[in-house]
Amino acid sequence: MRPRTLLSRPRTAPATSGDVEVRIVDPRTDPEPTGWNRFRKTTAWQPMWDYEQLRLESWLSRNPTVLGVLSKGGSVLGACLAMSCTPWRGRRFGPSGGRGLAPGWAEVYLSWFSGHSAAVFADRVDAARRRELLRAFERALAAHVGVGLLGVVYRAMPVDVAEAASGPGRAVREIDPTTVLVNRWESVDDWFASLRPPVREVVEAAAETASTLDVTAGAGRTDLDAAELATLLNTHRARQDARAWRSGQRARIAGLHLDTRSPIPTAYLAAFVRRPDVVTRTYRDGAGRLVAFHTLIDDRRGLALPHYAALPVSEGGRPRLYADVYAHCVRHLVEARRPELTAGRTLLDLKAGFGFTTRTLMSVAVPRPVMGR
């Protein structure tokens, strides 16, 4: 029996809006949409948009996703990923059962890649057309979900997408920006020389610390225990969340408040680190214990650092290994001649010391009465 959630209703024919066909797809059960592979290569190139990755993420999430695909004449013009969210936080993953009438909202959000947009468009789609496509997506989503949908929130959108999503009756807020390191150096030494002396000292100390560990890096790794990685990553994230609560950051409008993400699933991470476009670097102590790791998405259009986790020093971790991670990422950036490196929405001041700047992100809340208008 096909699972049903707030965003999972009986399969229907694609909706049409003018000359646009809108299909709401459940990655858990529906086949890959027509034209998706080509759109992936040209536009939605990050691994998070891979249909098999979406399938794994949605099956194992308490907030499963649907994919909205907007096409014309069989050619995909744009796509949106929407998470199903409810006011309560259960522990079940991939919930089943009829919930079409239960109140909840949808979030257009890349949950593990929040510095990048969950609404993407082909280059030929101009601003006016983007607005039209987003309205068509909203109408199709509302029809797919039913009366239980209270609205949709576009989270962590670049300015151009936020402008297309904005309008009368829609609340627009600037949120914490994402960090970006633009490649402007001829060598890693040039980057190192551009750092302030205290930061250079941290990088040197981190490199010395890393030299005492077993450090292994490579793309498409098959030698890793994904459960070990997921445990460290989810524990690291929980520790950061607890620290944020204590410091009062959750009360800030611009913060990562109301976190609707699920713990990253082992199966998802296992498939992710095996991808040829993902580099994973691990740090182990003399006993073979995993001390830290990170992943790096590598594409000619840019690098991204989606995952980093480390043991606290009090539990056997090493201080400031993040600095060694940044140094290796910059080396990859320069030597592979990639245009930029993005590294998420936290620790803005710390990353600024390594040369990162910021890119503005916006969120747009769209209540049900104005969806599609």
> Would you place residue 252 in the very low, low, confident or very high pLDDT band (cuts 50, 70, 90)?
very low
> Would you place residue 367 in the very low, low, confident or very high pLDDT band (cuts 50, 70, 90)?
very high
Tell me how far apart the terminal alpha carbons of the chain are, to the nearest angstrom. 35
> Would you place residue 237 in the very low, low, confident or very high pLDDT band (cuts 50, 70, 90)?
confident
Structural element, H or E, at residue 53: helix 51-59
Architecture of domain 15-176+361-370: 3-Layer(aba) Sandwich (3.40)
DSSP codes joined into one string, 126-151: -HHHHHHHHHHHHHHHHHHH-TTEEE
Given CATH 3.40.630.30, say whether it is the number of domain 184-338.
Answer: yes
Is the pLDDT at 2 greater than 60? The verdict is: no
The angle formed by the CA atoms of residues 256, 297 and 160, to the nearest 5 degrees, is 55
Structural element, H or E, at residue 171: strand 171-182
CA distance 58 to 93: 9
- Encoded tokens for 166: 């904005």
Residues in the chain: 373
Across 63-89, average pLDDT: 89
What is the pLDDT at residue 4? 43
> Would you place residue 64 in the very low, low, confident or very high pLDDT band (cuts 50, 70, 90)?
confident
Compute the mean pLDDT over every residue in the chain, rounded to the nearest whole number. 89
**Residue of 130, 42, 29, 120 whose CA lies nearest to 81:** 120
Which residue type occupies 235?
T
CA distance 349 to 198: 14
**Residue of 295, 358, 364, 347 whose CA lies nearest to 109:** 364
Where does CATH 3.40.630.30 sit in the chain?
184-338
Across 42-47, average pLDDT: 96
CA distance 283 to 207: 12
The angle formed by the CA atoms of residues 296, 299 and 302, to the nearest 5 degrees, is 80
